[in-house]
Amino acid sequence: MNKPLPDEAVQIGREVAEQFLIHEARLLDERRFRDWMALFTEDGTYWVPAAPDQQSPHSQASLFYDDRELMKTRVDRLEHPLIHVQTPPSRTVHLVSNVTIEPDTGTGEFVVSSNVLMVEYRLDRQRLFAGRQRHRLRYDDSRWLIAEKRVDLVNCDSAFEALAVPI
Amino acid sequence: MAATSLDVRSIDALVEPGRVHRRVYSDPAIFELEMERIFGRAWLFVGHTSQVPNPGDFVTMDLGREPVIFTRHRDGSLKVLQNRCAHRGPKVLNERCGRRNHFTCLYHGWTYDTDGSLVHVPVPEGCSTAFDKRRFGLAQVPRVAEYRGFVFASFATSGPSFDEHIATVRANIDDLVDRAPAGEIAFDAGVHRYVYRGNWKLQVENVLDSYHVPFSHASTVNRKGEQFARREGDATGAKVVEGNKTSGDWTRRKSYTVGRGHGWTSNTALDDGKRASAVFSEYKQVLAERVGAERAEQILTPRLHNTLVYPNASIMGLNIHVRVIKPLAVDLTEVNIYPVRLVGAPDEMNFRNIRLLNVTHAAASFVQSDDLESFTRAQAGLSSLMNDWVDISRGLGVEEPDEACGGMRALATHEMAVRAQYAAWRGYMCEASV
């Protein structure tokens, strides 16, 4: 799936990584879910485990584990006029901080770790979702794309009221 | 307690043939009485034997109002113990699950065996000479029983036996467990936990409600009226809408009630011959090798959608799982959804089941989240004093006896199953003791 590395592999700098995360957060906060989905590679996955240190998205239940196909179904639904759990819609603000970049492993992909806080407001109620997130980014056709996004919420194994929007 | 002001006549008046009074959902005194008379004595689903495979394995939970420990004793027997120190009252075990040789209270170190008996009291010279350890154990819930790994318990020392309680839905448990090539299932794939601000019965009623699907779940239905593919090997989901109407396939589905509040809904015509994928074929072959091709075909011909084992559990045949309903307050309910691993099935088949359950029944799923919105709005609407009644009359009087199940049959878009739940509810609530 990975393209062969050019002689001078593209490196990701801190500023570029941060700009990427800020851009992603903005797409989610502006409810541009289809544009958000387009940030993922064709084989990209979005995973929010339902247990701390969850080893596998396959053998264990998760809050979210979408490949592009399920992500599309999710986005179609978020855009559907009769999605009751988003009538009225949530308003969110994502804050991203504590960004670190793991060293290039020679794959041409970089892992960017950060802390995320999503504040969600709907119908007079405000909720907080805090966690550590990990983006595996791949350089493709002169842009960075998400090959894998994992969000480990501090309360991942809690009982949640309905969650409609991605974190 | 407010509950004492409720006499049998006033409870009885809350349930009429085609309607129930809104107080059954909103009155805290009714809720208190439900905890005592339903959750305090009915056979309740506790968990699955696979959660406690070894002696000392435990899972903690509340059964109604009672904090309990579901565990396996050294002799292999299953125990459901009161999770409350016999000395000064703290919960003895604080984790959701784990394994211990003994259960020791954090406060003064009183230590219990895995059958609840008190084995050690520190500084024994402080005890009076009459102190008898045998009188200070973690009480065992009096009746515990199991069927094919499904463990139930009752706080009542007498009353209907487990066999009487479960007889009519044993075949529904079989329907799920038989899908495992090894003939057993496991609860070892985590759990989906969600809460909603609504009464517990809203979830219980919804389990056998086929009427709501095209409306509550409109956002999961495409322009052709088909739901998204929810199961490995399906190209599409059930056709629930035709033009601007609920589809014929959907309206022909049946529901069945068999007494004690139990019931089930039949499957859609979704399945017949359409399910095909490499993963599904491999699974079918593995199953056929164990039970024979003819029996495998029979097992994989879906018969059931949801089965309700009243009052606190349901079993789903489509996106296979077991659901446990936990009332927290009159207007607050937690639900746990356990993915089911079919022991002996290829890993990939189990992985697909788990993965699709994420998008149907997690708090963040496409299906369940809109149900939670319905429950929350129902609870909010039921605070209105301008209309005291909730209508459950669809199909009243046209139910038919069903010889095969020994109960009654109706269209699944009717409300027979809800009425049957309230018949059971009234039975528990109006009986002062069993």
**Inter-chain contact B193–A51, Cβ cutoff 8 Å?**
no
Q: Does one domain contain both B269 and B235?
A: yes
By mean pLDDT, which of A20-34, B20-34, B225-239, B292-306 is the weakest?
B225-239
- CATH number, domain of B182, equals 3.90.380.10
Q: Which of B147, B179, B200 is the last residue of a domain?
A: B147
Share of chain B above pLDDT 90, in %: 86
Question: End of a domain among B147, B176, B210?
Answer: B147
Query: What is the arithmetic mean of pLDDT over B335-355?
Result: 98
Q: Do A61 and B197 touch (CB under 8 A)?
A: no
Determine the average pLDDT of the residues in B344-371.
97
Q: Is residue B78 part of a domain?
A: yes
Q: What's the mean per-residue pLDDT of chain B?
A: 94
Q: What is the mean pLDDT of residues A116-137?
A: 98
- A65 reaches B (C-beta below 8 A): yes
- Percent of chain B at pLDDT > 70 equals 97
Residue of B60, B61, B219 to mutate, interface with A, max A Cβ within 10 Å: B219
Confidence of residue B268 (pLDDT cuts 50, 70, 90): low
The answer to whether residue A2 scores a pLDDT higher than 80 is no
Q: Does residue B161 form part of some domain?
A: no
Q: Does the beta-carbon distance from A63 to B358 stay under 8 Å? A: yes
CB atoms within 10 A of CB B187: 20
Q: Which residue has the tokens 């046209």?
A: B398
With beta carbons under 8 A apart, name residues in chain B contacting A48: 364
Q: Are B139 and B209 members of one domain? A: no
Residues 184-243 of B with CB under 8 A from A: 189-197, 216, 218-220, 222, 228
Look at residue B250 in the predicted model and tell me its pLDDT: 82
**In the structure, what pLDDT confidence band is assigned to residue B267 with cuts at 50, 70 and 90?**
confident
Q: Residue A9: its pLDDT value, please?
A: 63
Average the pLDDT over A31-35 and give the result.
98
Q: Rg of chain A over CA atoms, in angstroms?
A: 16
Chosen from A58, A79, A118, A125 to mutate, greatest number of chain B CBs within 10 A: A58
Residue B272 has pLDDT above 60, yes or no: no
Residue A135 pLDDT exceeds 60: yes
B4 pLDDT higher than 80: no
From A73, A83, A158, residue closest to B193, measured CB to CB:
A158
Residue B152 lies in a domain: no
| pLDDT of B431 strictly over 80 | yes
Q: In this model, does residue B255 exceed pLDDT 80? A: yes
Between the CA of residue B276 and those of A67, A147, B224, B283, B332, what are the distances in Å? 20, 29, 21, 11, 41
B350 pLDDT band (50/70/90 cuts)?
Answer: very high
Query: For B195, which of A83, A84, A159 is closest by C-beta distance?
Result: A159
pLDDT of residue A4: 47
Query: Is A60 in Cβ contact with B189 (below 8 Å)?
Result: yes
pLDDT for position A8? 57
Q: Which DSSP category does A84 fall into?
A: G
Mean pLDDT to the nearest integer, A145-162: 98
Provide the pLDDT for residue B276. Answer: 87
Domain ranges of chain A: 14-50+58-153
Minimum Cα–Cα distance from A78: chain B residue: B219
| Per-residue pLDDT at B3 exceeds 50 | no
Q: Looking at the predicted structure, is the pLDDT value of residue B207 above 80?
A: yes
Distance separating alpha carbons of residues B429 and B132, to the nearest angstrom = 38
Q: Which chain A residues are within 8 Å of B364, Cβ to Cβ?
A: 48, 63-64, 160, 162-164
Q: Is the pLDDT confidence value at B219 over 80? A: yes
B295 and B351 within one domain: yes
Chain B residues with beta carbon closer than 8 angstroms to that of A74: 359, 366
Are residues B131 and B184 both part of a single domain? no
Mean pLDDT of all residues in B116-120: 98
Any domain includes B162? no
Nearest to B46 by CA among B233, B288, B312: B312
Tokens of B185: 């299932």
User: Are the Cβ atoms of B369 and A162 closer than 8 angstroms?
Assistant: yes
Residues B55 and B109 in one domain: yes
Q: Which of A59, A65, A84 sits opposite B216 (nearest CB)?
A: A84
- Candidates B333, B347, B354, B374, partner chain A, best to mutate (most A CBs within 10 A): B354
Q: Average pLDDT of B17-34?
A: 97
Per-residue H/E/C for chain B: CHHHHCCHHHHHCCEECCEEECHHHHCHHHHHHHHHHCCCCCCEEEEEHHHCCCCCEEEEEEECCEEEEEEECCCCCEEEEECCCCCCCCCCCCCCEEECCCEECCCCCCEECCCCCEEECCCHHHCCCCCCHHHCCCCECCEEEEECCEEEEECCCCCCCHHHHHHHHHHHHHHHHCCCCCCCEECCCCCEEEEECCCHHHHHHHHCCCCCHHHHCHHHECCCCEECCCCCCCCCCCECEECCEECHHHHCCEEEECCCCCEEEECCCCCCCCCCCHHHHHHHHHHHHHHCHHHHHHHCCCCEEEEEECCCEEEECCCCEEEEEEEEECCEEEEEEEECEECCCCHHHHHHHHHHHHHHHCCCCCCHHHHHHHHHHHHHHCCCCCCCEEECCCCCCCCEEECCCCEEEEECCCCHHHHHHHHHHHHHHHCCCC
In a domain, B3, yes or no: no
Question: Looking at the predicted structure, is the pLDDT value of residue B332 above 80?
Answer: yes
Range of the domain at B135: 44-147
Partners of B354 on chain A (C-beta within 8 Å) are 58-61
Of the listed ranges A107-111, B10-14, B180-184, B304-308, the one predicted with least confidence? A107-111
**Residue B35 belongs to a domain:** no
Inspect the interface and report whether the beta carbons of B364 and A64 lie closer than 8 Å.
yes
Q: Which of B190, B186, B235, B170 is nearest to B345 (CA)?
A: B186
Tell me whether residues B189 and A59 touch, CB distance under 8 A. Answer: yes
> What pTM does this model have?
0.95
pLDDT category of residue B38 using cuts at 50, 70 and 90: very high
Separation in Å, CA of A130 to nearest CA in chain B: 16
Q: What average pLDDT does the segment B301-328 reach?
A: 95
pLDDT confidence band for B270 (50 / 70 / 90): low
pLDDT band at B269 (very low <50, low <70, confident <90, very high): low
CATH of the domain at B126: 2.102.10.10
The pair of three-digit structure tokens given for residue B190, joined into one six-digit string = 């985590």
Give how many domains chain B has, as a whole number. 2
- Assess: ipTM above 0.90: yes
pLDDT at residue A107, as a whole number: 82
- Using the beta-carbon criterion (under 8 Å), do B358 and A77 form an inter-chain contact? no
- Judged by a CB distance cut-off of 8 A, whether residue B244 touches chain A is no
Amino acid identity at B415: E
Measured N-to-C along each axis, helices B278-291 and B347-361 cross at an angle, to the nearest 10 degrees, of 120
Mean pLDDT of B43-65: 98
Are the Cβ atoms of B358 and A82 closer than 8 angstroms?
no
Q: Which of B147, B177, B202 is the last residue of a domain?
A: B147
Q: How many CB pairs under 8 A join A and B?
A: 105
Mean pLDDT, residues B42-56 = 98
Same domain, residue pair B198 and B238: yes
> Is B6 inside any structural domain?
no
Please check whether residue B388 lies inside any domain of the structure: yes
Q: Do B369 and A163 touch (CB under 8 A)?
A: yes
**C-beta atoms of B347 and A160 within 8 A:** no
Q: Is the pLDDT of residue B9 over 60?
A: yes
**Residue B295: pLDDT band with limits 50, 70, 90:** very high
pLDDT mean over B133-152: 97
Report yes or no: A113 and A6 within 8 Å, Cβ to Cβ. no
B363 chain-A contacts, CB cut-off 8 A: 63, 159-163
Q: Same structural domain for residues B196 and B128?
A: no
Mean pLDDT across the stretch B295-301? Answer: 93
Q: Is the peptide bond before B53 cis (omega within 30 degrees of 0)?
A: no
CB contact residues (below 8 A), chain B span 297-336, against chain A: 334, 336
Confidence of residue A99 (pLDDT cuts 50, 70, 90): very high
Is the CATH number of domain A14-50+58-153 3.30.9.10?
A: no
Give the model confidence (pLDDT) of B163-206 as tens digits: 999 999 999 999 999 999 999 999 999 999 999 999 999 999 99
Q: Which two tokens stand for residue B344?
A: 């002996």
Specify the pLDDT at position B243.
84
pLDDT at B2: 44
Using an 8 Å CB-CB cutoff, list chain A residues near B351.
Answer: 58-59
> Cα separation of B226 and B203, whole Å?
24
Q: What is the pLDDT of residues B275-285, one digit of tens each?
A: 889 999 999 99
